[in-house]
């Protein structure tokens, strides 16, 4: 089956493409790009992308899909549906499920469930240590054979420098990046929000920025010691971003990510004790947001990831300090980047594609994703930079609704998502895109 | 004045206006006399139900709210955590909704989680009164402290207040900083560096002076407020020993020699004698600790009266926000409030004496 995405504006930073092009895909793979004036090849279906941006499929390398073990919060199928509705073609599932993904059997289970769901591609991340206890290394080699793309004890930061050193040395041998949630527990313990003016006003224990900064520094020093690839998850502080900037200047294999909520909201959002403002790392003060925006602009920050963390409404309807950390993010991530970054002139559209597709593919060494090179997977995210919309959490594809962005208005959205050549999502109102390719859509809907 | 006192819940002092605070204090003053009579009861809240929902151990505050409710003729029900269904795993919200299904007019809540009263206020219809939530606020304590200061100093504006001890974990300190600064006092705080973060200097727009040495905070102070030191802070490594705390951060007579000549000393209780305050001060002439307790009942009567009474119609059916003022005319204590607390309160006391709540029925 062949599908032509015609008259779109193609942005593929990996190839330096940033211009109007037609994109031809066949049997789930990219055939190549051609100019708008070139006639459509015979016998192919057509998706008319006039006025839209066509980008390599977006990759969210940090999500919590909760299956196995916490299916009441999210399943791999519901998480994958939320992913494609948000414009993501690939998501990486963190291992903190029950059981934890610390062995090949769980890895294979996650992959099988994702294949059954058939929406976004789900790539598992394995645990660094058994049961993420921070004591013994998990079987990274077997998990890699089964399909993991990185290792992380996300949510339970590797507690000691000694353990992290061994993990980096061992993971290096399998060419796996080590992803760490930077948080020095002895500083952050008991904290439920950013430590600063608002934690004093609200009378809640804070997590100082230094808790993240100390651990980020530790991880960069260990990356230097071991030569491993270290990826620092969801950075939220000026100090940690500075640390990464210095590590990169030294030539270390250190990369990092930030989340949309950390550049959108300050800790003042906690003021009315809404538990949908509770996440780890916490919402920070204005100065830290400025540092994130600088890092996004100057290239220090490689990747945007959502840290999509579904929790049931009952769990979030507790006292603030009792409620679990985390918010969902898959369906608002592109809107927040388009509205708050691209359309405000903070970053270019090309930079956005780097942050959401090119760079996560590079960090995870996903050779055939994040680009439209001939032979790459035909994963596409199609964006309407001007589309005005309002997020209605009650219509989310996720099983959970724990978001502070319900009712937010955005300009700019992912309007069509194509995974391995199949149109798996069209935003309501954009069905017309495939009016000339009814079969492509029908096929995807029948699954 | 009633137009300015538009308050459904009492969740904290930070959000209150000067007018609202003054009105609460003036109302409390009129209730103080009730407790001095032989028959300590007025019918103001007859037929209303007040639930004291206490998730933290408390003798003083719970008893104070209970007595306040009873002196207003409300039916008061006390629920403490050990006897509640929380121990069976019920959430705070479910507990509150179940209580609300029994149609209370007011729920007084104390909880170890900051924001718990806000949480209830968002989901419940009853008036919520915060009786202390974590390290956030303890509004009735600040009101009773202000009432006590006003009683003895005749004013709050222009006074220098020193607050000494565990500021970081203290809801009493926060509520007092907000309230007393709104009424024009200046605030200094002092205590161990671990318990007095420098960021307190910017807690309020007017600023707070953060001192390292408690004598520096007390120098020239008109009011010295001592906070309770909780023993568990020692195991959390906030300070090395109660002994050292007593030596370096406890209040001794010598400290007061550099305070104002007529300085008064306050403590929200319960006291650790010999730790944060020496007995000679606690039992001495400058100590207003028991006056605070007495005023606590008056303040809580005022709060319950205004929240569970004045906003309701005679048959107890809650009015909508717009209808709230309709019943105000029946309130005997309504009068113009003043944002100027210097005007003493004696003349007002006279003015309102003839219009006590008991006049209603």
The CATH number for B86's domain is 3.40.50.1370
Q: Would B357 be classed as within a structural domain?
A: no
Which A-chain residues 187-216 have CB contacts (< 8 A) with chain B? Answer: 196-197, 200-204
Predicted local confidence at residue A288, as pLDDT = 98
Please write the tens of the pLDDT for every residue from A233-280. 999 999 999 999 999 999 999 999 999 999 999 999 999 999 999 999
Which residues of chain A make contact with B133, given a CB cutoff of 8 A?
203
Coil, helix or strand for A442? helix
Which residues of chain B make contact with A320, given a CB cutoff of 8 A?
113-115, 119
Find out whether A358 and A57 touch, Cβ atoms under 8 Å.
Answer: no
User: Which CATH topology does A57-363 take?
Assistant: TIM Barrel (3.20.20)
Kindly list the domain boundaries of chain A, sorted by start residue: 2-54+378-391+405-445, 57-363
Residues B157 and B209 in one domain: yes
Burial of A135 (0-12, 13-18, 19+ CB in 10 A): exposed
Q: Would B200 be classed as within a structural domain?
A: yes
CA angle A352, A329, A58 (to 5 degrees): 35
Residues B330 and B213 in one domain: no
Residues B287 and B167 in one domain: yes
Residues B184 and B252 in one domain: yes
Domain A2-54+378-391+405-445 carries which CATH code? 2.30.40.10
CA B179 centroid distance within chain: 10
Which residues of chain B make contact with A201, given a CB cutoff of 8 A?
14, 174, 203
End residue of a domain, out of B236, B271, B291: B291
Residues B85 and B149 in one domain: no
Q: Would B2 be classed as within a structural domain?
A: no
The pLDDT-based confidence of A388 (bands split at 50, 70, 90) is: very high
Q: Report the alpha-carbon distance of residue A171 to residue A255 in Å, rounded.
A: 16
Give the gap in angstroms from C-alpha B126 to the nearest C-alpha of chain A: 18
The active-site residue out of A307, A339, A379, A384 is A307
Find out whether B164 and B177 touch, Cβ atoms under 8 Å.
Answer: no
Coil, helix or strand for B265? strand
Beta carbons within 10 angstroms of residue A271's beta carbon: 15
Q: Report the alpha-carbon distance of residue A373 to residue A29 in Å, rounded.
A: 10
CB contact under 8 A, A273 and B14: no
Return the DSSP state at B229. P
Length of chain B equals: 361
- The residues on B that touch A, with CB distances below 8 Å, are 14, 91-93, 111, 113-116, 118-119, 133-137, 168, 171, 174, 197, 199-200, 202-203
Mutation target for A interface from B115, B120, B198, B210: give the one with most A CBs within 10 A.
B115
Nearest CA-CA partner of B211 in B221, A200, A197, B178: B221
CB contact under 8 A, A204 and B135: yes
- Residue span of the structural domain in which B191 resides: 139-291
Residues B259 and B165 in one domain: yes
Query: What mean pLDDT comes out for the span A279-284?
Result: 98
Residues B165 and B233 in one domain: yes
Residue A165 pLDDT greater than 60, yes or no:
yes
Residues B158 and B282 in one domain: yes
Residues B154 and B287 in one domain: yes
Partner-chain residue, chosen from B134, B168, B203, that has the shortest CB–CB distance to A201: B203
The pLDDT-based confidence of A435 (bands split at 50, 70, 90) is: low
Residue pointed to by tokens 């037929």 = B47
Q: Report the alpha-carbon distance of residue A111 to residue A118 in Å, rounded.
A: 11
Q: Where is average pLDDT lowest: A81-85, A234-238, A401-405, B320-324?
A: B320-324
Give the gap in angstroms from C-alpha B85 to the nearest C-alpha of chain A: 15
Predicted local confidence at residue B344, as pLDDT = 39
Percent of all residues in chain A with a pLDDT value above 70, rounded to a whole number: 97
Give the gap in angstroms from C-alpha B214 to the nearest C-alpha of chain A: 21
Which residues of chain A make contact with B137, given a CB cutoff of 8 A?
203
Please write the tens of the pLDDT for every residue from A102-145. 999 999 999 999 999 999 999 999 999 999 999 999 999 999 99
Partner-chain residue, chosen from B118, B197, B203, that has the shortest CB–CB distance to A273: B118
Residues B109 and B184 in one domain: no
Split chain B (361 residues) into runs of 10 and give each run's mean pLDDT: 73 97 96 91 94 91 96 94 61 89 95 94 92 97 98 97 97 98 98 95 96 96 96 86 95 96 96 95 96 97 91 40 37 37 40 38 34
Q: Would B310 be classed as within a structural domain?
A: yes
Residue A66 pLDDT greater than 90, yes or no:
yes
CB contact under 8 A, B199 and A196: yes
Which residues of chain A make contact with B134, given a CB cutoff of 8 A?
203-204, 321
Give the gap in angstroms from C-alpha B92 to the nearest C-alpha of chain A: 7
For chain B, how many structural domains are there in total?
Answer: 2
Work out the mean pLDDT of chain A and round it to a whole number: 95
Which residues of chain A make contact with B118, given a CB cutoff of 8 A?
272-273
* B174, closest residue in chain A (CA to CA): A201
Query: What mean pLDDT comes out for the span A24-34?
Result: 97
ipTM (interface predicted TM): 0.89
Q: Is A60 noted as a catalytic residue in this protein?
A: no
Q: Would B180 be classed as within a structural domain?
A: yes
């Amino acid at each position: 089956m062949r599908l032509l995405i015609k008259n779109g504006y193609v942005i593929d930073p990996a190839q330096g493409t940033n211009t109007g092009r037609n994109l031809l895909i066949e049997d789930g793979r990219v055939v190549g790009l051609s100019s708008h004036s070139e006639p459509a090849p015979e016998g192919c279906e057509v998706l008319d992308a006039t006025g839209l941006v066509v980008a390599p499929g977006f990759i969210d390398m940090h999500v919590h899909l909760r299956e196995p073990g916490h299916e009441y919060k999210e399943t791999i199928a519901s998480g994958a549906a939320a992913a494609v509705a948000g414009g993501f073609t690939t998501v990486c599932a963190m291992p903190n499920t029950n059981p934890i993904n610390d062995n090949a059997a769980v890895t294979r289970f996650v992959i099988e469930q994702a294949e059954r769901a058939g929406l976004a591609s789900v790539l598992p991340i394995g645990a660094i240590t058994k049961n993420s206890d921070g004591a013994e290394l998990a079987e990274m080699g077997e998990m890699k054979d089964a399909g993991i793309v990185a290792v992380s004890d996300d949510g339970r930061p590797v507690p000691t420098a000694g353990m992290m050193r061994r993990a980096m040395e061992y993971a290096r041998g399998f060419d796996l990046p080590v992803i760490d949630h930077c948080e020095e527990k002895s500083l952050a313990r008991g904290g439920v929000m950013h430590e600063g003016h608002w934690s004093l006003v609200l009378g809640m224990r804070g997590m100082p920025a230094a808790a993240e900064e100390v651990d980020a520094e530790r991880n960069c020093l260990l990356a230097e010691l071991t030569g491993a690839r270290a990826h620092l998850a969801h950075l939220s502080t000026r100090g940690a971003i500075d640390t990464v900037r210095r590590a990169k200047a030294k030539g270390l294999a250190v990369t990092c990510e930030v989340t949309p909520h950390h550049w959108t909201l300050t800790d003042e959002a906690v003021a009315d004790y809404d538990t949908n403002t509770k996440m780890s790392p916490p919402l920070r003060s204005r100065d830290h947001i400025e540092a994130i925006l600088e890092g996004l602009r100057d290239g220090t920050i490689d990747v945007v990831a959502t840290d999509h963390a579904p929790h049931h409404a009952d769990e979030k309807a507790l006292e603030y300090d009792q409620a679990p950390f985390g918010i969902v993010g898959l369906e608002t991530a592109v809107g927040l980047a388009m509205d708050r970054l691209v359309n405000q002139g903070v970053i270019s559209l090309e930079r956005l594609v780097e942050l959401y597709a090119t760079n996560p593919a590079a960090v995870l060494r996903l050779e055939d994703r994040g680009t439209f090179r001939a032979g790459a997977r035909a994963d596409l995210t199609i964006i309407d930079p001007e589309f005005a919309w309002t997020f209605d959490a009650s219509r989310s594809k996720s099983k959970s609704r724990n978001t502070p962005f319900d009712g937010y208005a955005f300009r700019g959205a992912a309007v069509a998502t194509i995974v391995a050549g199949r149109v798996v999502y069209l935003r309501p109102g954009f069905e017309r895109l495939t009016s000339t390719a009814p079969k492509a859509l029908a096929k995807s809907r029948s699954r | 004045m009633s137009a300015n006192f538009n308050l459904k819940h009492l969740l904290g002092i930070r959000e209150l206006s000067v007018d609202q605070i003054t009105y609460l204090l003036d109302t409390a003053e009129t209730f103080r006399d009730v407790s001095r009579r032989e028959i300590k009861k007025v019918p103001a809240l007859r037929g209303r139900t007040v639930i004291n929902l206490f998730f933290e151990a408390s003798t003083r505050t719970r008893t104070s709210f209970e007595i306040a409710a009873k002196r207003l003729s409300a039916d008061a029900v006390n629920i403490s955590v050990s006897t509640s269904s929380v121990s069976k795993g019920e959430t705070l919200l479910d507990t509150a909704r179940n209580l609300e299904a029994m149609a209370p007019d007011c729920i007084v809540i104390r909880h170890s989680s900051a924001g718990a009263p806000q949480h209830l206020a968002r989901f419940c219809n009853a008036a919520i009164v915060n009786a202390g939530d974590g390290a956030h606020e303890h509004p009735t304590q600040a009101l009773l402290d202000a009432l006590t200061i006003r009683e003895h100093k005749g004013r709050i504006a222009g006074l220098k207040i020193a607050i000494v001890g565990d500021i970081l974990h203290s809801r009493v300190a926060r509520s007092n900083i907000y309230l007393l600064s709104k009424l024009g006092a200046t605030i200094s705080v002092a205590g161990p560096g671990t318990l007095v973060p420098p960021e307190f200097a910017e807690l309020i727009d007017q600023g707070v002076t953060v001192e390292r040495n408690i004598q520096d905070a007390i120098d020239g102070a008109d009011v010295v407020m001592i906070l309770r030191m909780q023993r568990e802070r020692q195991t959390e490594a906030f300070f090395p020993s109660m002994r050292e705390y007593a030596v370096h951060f406890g209040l001794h007579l010598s400290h007061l020699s550099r305070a104002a000549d007529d300085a008064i000393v306050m403590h929200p209780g319960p006291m650790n004698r010999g730790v944060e305050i020496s007995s000679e001060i606690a039992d001495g002439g400058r100590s207003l600790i028991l006056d605070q307790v007495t005023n606590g009942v008056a303040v809580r009567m005022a709060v319950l009266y205004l929240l569970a009474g004045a906003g309701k119609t005679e048959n107890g059916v809650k009015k909508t926000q717009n209808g709230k003022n309709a019943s105000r005319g029946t309130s005997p204590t309504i009068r113009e409030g003043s944002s100027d607390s210097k005007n003493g309160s004696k003349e007002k006391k006279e003015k309102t004496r003839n219009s006590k709540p008991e006049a209603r029925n």
